[in-house]
Structure 1
């Protein structure tokens, strides 16, 4: 009898030392840890306020953050709450939770760090458990519609606002939802499952409306108040327009699908992983942004007659607070390789964020699809620009494209995810003299390798080696598991849609790049001087 009583006592958790209990409970999933305090008073007391236990559970599920002084109990609580919220059967009724979702997603990405693995074959895009969790949380369409599709663009597409008026001041909910969509990274092109729910025409309306380009916005994706705060609805519109064109042009190389098809990939600071054997110059050691290397740029534009007619219609008396009509006239797409290096590092200016310096760069660019001479195939000093922080801590890129020794085009953009993110830079391009008649349009660029031109001048060229990271045109758009849930709702490929006949363009571009890989000097020269067009 005494032996039985002793065995019974040994089965009670409350008789175990605290160290052993900690070791047992540290292996729980975050949601299970949340259930534990509800079992009995003893476990409630043991778990509540136990920061060390919450920290260990957090680190088992998520990335180790740079900040070691987090409120670990709150982090675990919010992690579980976000997961339950996004998978709720009535998540569409919980749109008022947007501020919580916005704060938690931003915090998880701010605290993201590399797992030591890569998400692409080149090894330049770090994997993150935080980003992977967010991708799972927003895998189902109802969660995306509830929190990522609440901006003014989506309101227009859903015809929720009558009469249509642009808010005098940007609504916080619009901005929060738009930023979440930008961090999500995979452009959502439909707010429903029919042709009429396409978002692209309304995004085009915002991107090509010259009234959005003012001295107070620096003609970039900033608020119209001269504060340099990011206008995330502008960034969202750019992503939608570029994403639609990337899709319609069948740009299916892994260099695109790795970033434009996978949720939350590269949307956190430091997610670009530099090559360990890259050539490092003295100035690179002072550059916190990781500027030096080869970048792939995507630029879109509409025919100038369409652009002018849209912005300057006859008898135009449209009030500024009324958005211009939806725009769907077809665009041209250009792909440009930029190879840049650091030329100077200066202290931040009065209007800059003070935490990091201003980095100046120069380099060369070449179009890989068309002879857009004034922007891509110019002289060997074809690109220059700066990178700096804004006062709110965002990374602002300014570039100039040179033609015959003079700056012809300018761009202003924001690096999504922060310093050193693999997601890259998104913004506007426009005339360097701010021509009030345009043209202007959307642009994005992201780093594909660490190959940079030698500042001493003996490597001022773009060779076929610089194209190798972008020469896979056999990849599918996203993984098989992504396709199941994403294609219909977001890309709008419902039964009414006609198939877009761009096979000839895709095959021609693939042939050009395959020929480039053969390293035949004449073929390389032919391609670099623009003998392929991605048409409208």
Structure 2
């Protein structure tokens, strides 16, 4: 007679679970029992279920057939059950102390690791964090950076489960970093992700007020989902171009092919889901559906900032008091970073959306946010990305681009790709492979960021009098201006689509020029762009030069406008993981005119491109500033 293995009955996720054996657990961050995920149950045997298959031994009762099988079989049964329904593990653990120990007390978390790898992307091969691959003796690894070898302190096992952390004191390269071991709590991570998914999937609008109680858990979980995304391949895997429709001109009886106009709805979640499925990622569709949900919008618009308004009254005869402008304090910068992953979906009819877009404009055009302390860019004084500033810049520019596309501006058709396909445009090449190409000549610079080639982009700006009203309100008061600038209803100007053509500068660092010739630079002997902020030495800076010209079909300037000279540098920031920073100087008529400071969202090779701020290169008094966006078509 063949012995059969009896496995526990696993309820589906949609089944109602009224069984008293379901544990009442509380996830990290609080919560009630109806939205819980399994954790270690109580040892009170009086509450255990009377399962025939999994119940503990009793007088006259044979041992459970499942517990008589090899541990590998038990592991596989529990793993498949947990992937199908995590609460099934909690119910199984309450039936038997031996099963409870197998599920919760295993120190290597093998069961939870396998459940995690079947439900989510493998964090050990995530593209966001730099890893090295060549062991160099005990406790050290080396990374090829294109200019030699950088030593990294690691565990030498080559499994890629660590995080690069920059030394922090090196500003311009040549420093060393350390490779720290990052332990992953698979059980806690699986439980938190299941809990957060249940919030965004099942909670009705009436419960949105409770989201603030779980804000830390929600933000940390969503960030882990994003940072665990695998890197996109370095080969060209661009999605197919948008569909075209053929229309017939009834007047001339000739057929013309025109591209269908872009609308926010055309960038559907189904199309982005297909692109994410092709890219073989589990975290992508989960994260994208959460960011598009109404619950996340509620968190972003209502919980990302805290608004206060000073109780000051204007003096008699004074037209207005700028100190009464509402002040917003950022509660959680990572919410801004998550919001930047997808194009904003502002509704002009929604008052809260209009007010928030006005707040973002105020952040972007306020010159006090861009000063020497952060190199006039979206950075912090310690050389890291200020995600609140970058989210404001990116949201303003992407919303402007969608408005221009909705008006049928054909020259902006190239902006459809970086605005579409969900999270795909913000997945870069990552840091899994930092080897210099073997076929690259020794005298050439490794273009690890994909700088060379054409780039498209544009800029936006306020009317100068309005910019003065925002940044110099006392001057407006002195003139007795009665009109108060309302950025919630303001439509700033958007420039024509521009085209950059960049080449990597392979020349060595030019010699310092004497004072007698420093004011007469030629385009071939201009000083290189530098920074005072800390940077990462993981990869060497890439210096480049090129030209900037109006894209064909623009209307702001004549199409015969001469090209301007551009020079700049791409380097890594001091963030962990590091981000890709762009600095460009645009030169008109033999003089440096504009300086652009930006960050490439998604890292090197991302299709979204870089967002930044343009300022006057000479930093003259009362010189304006505004947002800029460039991407690689």
Q: TM-score, normalised by structure 1?
A: 0.67
Deviation at 1:6, TM superposition (A): 9.4
| Contact 2:374–2:383 under 8 Å retained in 1 | yes
Return the match for 2:200 from 86, 89, 108: 86
Judged with a 3 Å threshold, the aligned counterparts in structure 2 of structure 1 residues 18 and 148 are, in CA distance, closer, same or farther, namely: farther
Corresponding residue of 2:569? 386
Q: Distance in 2 between matches of 1:132 and 1:177?
A: 18
In structure 2, C-alpha distance between the alignment counterparts of 1:350 and 1:237, rounded to whole Å: 22
CA contact (8 A) 1:401 1:410 kept: yes
Structure 1 CA distance, aligned partners of 2:121 and 2:3? 45
Match of 2:282 among 129, 147, 150: 129
Q: Is the 8 A contact 2:596 2:613 kept in 1?
A: yes
Q: Hey, what's the Cα distance between the residues in 2 that align with 1:146 and 1:350?
A: 33
Residue among 422, 425, 448 paired with 1:288: 448
Q: Does 1:98 align with 2:215?
A: yes
Gaps of at least 5 residues in structure 2 are: 7-52, 54-61, 126-159, 162-182, 242-274, 310-322, 479-483, 510-529
Computing the radius of gyration over CA atoms, which structure comes out larger, 1 or 2?
Answer: 2
> Structure 2 vs 1, CA of residues 314 and 376 (structure 1 numbering), >3 Å: closer, same or farther?
farther
Matched-pair contact (CA < 8 Å) for 1:376–1:382: no
- Larger proportion of helix: 1
Deviation at 1:315, TM superposition (A): 4.1
Q: Give the Cα–Cα distance (whole angstroms) in 1 for the partners of residues 432 and 451 of structure 2.
A: 12
State the partner residue of 1:215. 372
Q: Following superposition of structure 1 onto structure 2, how do residues 114-125 of structure 1 map, counting pairs within 5 Å?
A: 114=231, 118=237, 120-121=239-240
Contact kept in structure 2, 1:109 and 1:268, CA below 8 Å:
no
1:189–1:240 CA contact under 8 A, matched in 2: no
1:234 aligned onto 2:389: yes
Q: How does 1:340-351 map to 2 (within 5 A)?
A: 340-344=502-506, 351=534
* 1:21-420 alignment, distance < 5 Å: 21-27=74-80, 30=83, 32-39=85-92, 40-41=95-96, 42-48=98-104, 49=106, 51-65=109-123, 66=125, 67-68=160-161, 70-87=184-201, 88-89=203-204, 90-114=207-231, 118=237, 120-121=239-240, 128-147=281-300, 150-152=303-305, 164-166=325-327, 171=330, 173-182=331-340, 184-190=341-347, 194-195=350-351, 197-198=353-354, 199-223=356-380, 226-250=381-405, 255-270=414-429, 286-313=446-473, 315-316=475-476, 325-326=486-487, 328-344=490-506, 351-368=534-551, 369-370=553-554, 378-379=562-563, 382-392=565-575, 393-420=578-605
Cα distance, 1:64–1:250 mapped onto 2, change above 3 Å: same
Of 620, 623, 630, which aligns to 1:438?
Answer: 623
| CA apart distance, 1:290 | 2.6
Residues 28-37 or 16-25, more deviating: 28-37
Q: Which moved more, 1:242-251 or 1:347-356?
A: 347-356
- What residue in structure 1 maps to residue 24 of structure 2? none
Q: Is the 8 A contact 2:78 2:89 kept in 1?
A: no
- C-alpha spacing 1:13/1:164, structure 2 compared with 1 (3 Å): farther
Q: CA deviation at 1:271?
A: 6.7
Q: CA RMSD in A?
A: 4.2
Gaps of 5+ in 1: 157-161, 449-536
The whole-number CA distance in structure 2 between the counterparts of 1:82 and 1:398 is 38
1:372 to 1:352, Cα distance in 2 relative to 1, 3 A: farther
Aligned residues: 427
Name the stretch that deviates more: 251-260 or 77-86. 251-260
Shift of 1:28: 5.0
- Is the alpha carbon distance of 1:437 and 1:164 closer, same or farther for their aligned partners in structure 2, counting shifts above 3 Å? closer
CA spacing shift, 1:177–1:4, aligned 2, 3 Å: closer
Could you tell me whether the CA contact under 8 Å between 2:382 and 2:533 is conserved in 1? no
| 3-state SS, counterpart of residue 131 of structure 1 | helix
2:632 pairs, out of 447, 459, 464, with 447
For residues 463-518 of structure 1, the C-alpha deviation after alignment (integer angstroms, 9 at most, x for no partner) is xxxxxxxxxxxxxxxxxxxxxxxxxxxxxxxxxxxxxxxxxxxxxxxxxxxxxxxx
Are the equivalent residues in 1 in contact too, given 2:451–2:504 (CA < 8 A)?
yes
Instruction: Report deviation, 1:395.
Output: 2.3
Distance change in 2, residues 1:360/1:46 (3 Å): same
